[in-house]
Amino acid sequence: MEPLETIGDDIDSWTTMMFLYHSALKKVNTKLEILNDEFRHVHKYNPIEYFKSRIKTPESIVKKLKRGGYESTIANMVKYVNDIAGIRLVCSFTSDIYRLAEMIRRQNDLTVVTVKDYIKTPKESGYKSYHMLVTVPIFLSEGVVDTKVEIQIRTIAMDFWASLEHKIYYKFEGNAPDYISKELRDCASMVSMLDAKMLRLNEAVLRAKEEQADK
C-alpha cells in the first residue's frame, strides 16, 4: 500500500485515512486494556483509572492546519496533525504516569516517535500532561501502514484542571483576560500540590502495609 502521506484528496481517500486512524485506536486501546489487566493480575493494582479515545473532527483538523499555515489537504493532515487519533490515559498518581509510559515504550510493535513531558516542564498556562506520539502498524490486505496515535497520560487532578481550562478558554476563543489566566495558573499550582500530597500519602500507606506484613 502507498505511504499514508501520498493518499489522494478524494472521498475514497478520506474514508481510507479515517479507517486507518480508527483501526490504530482500536489496536492501541486493546493493548492498554491488556496491560492494565496484566498489571492488576500480577501486582493487584491497576494504574489506569480510565481512558478515553477519539478521532478529531474534520473541522478541528482544518482549523489546526490553518493555524499552522498549511493547506487543507489529506497529505498535510497526515504529516502535520499528529493528534488525529488520540487516547487520554488517566491514572491516580504521578508515579503511575511514568510507569505507564515505560510499559507503552516496551511494546515491540509500537514505535515512539516523540515525547513531550509537560509534567517536568509545564506549559506557561499551567497545563501538565505527558504526551507520547507513537506509530502502530496496521496490517491490510495490500501491505502494512504505520499510523500515528497521540497518547496523553495525566492524573485525575491534572485531567480535571485541563478539562475546565479548555472550557473556560473556549468561551473566550483563546483570548481570556489576564486575571483569568493568572487564576488558572494558581489553580494549576494547587493541583500540583494535591498530586504531590496524594503521592506521599499513597507511599506512606504502602510502607505501613509492608511494616504490618513484617510483624
- The answer to whether the predicted template modeling score (pTM) of the entire model surpasses 0.95 is no
List, by residue number, the catalytic residues. Answer: 150
112 DSSP β-pair partners: 134
* pLDDT tens sequence across 2-61: 445 444 555 467 888 889 999 999 999 999 999 889 888 887 888 899 999 999 998 899
Residues of the chain with pLDDT under 50: 1-3, 5-7, 11
Element (H, E) at 147: strand 143-155
Class of domain 4-158: alpha beta
3-state helix, strand, coil in the chain (%, to 5): 55, 20, 25
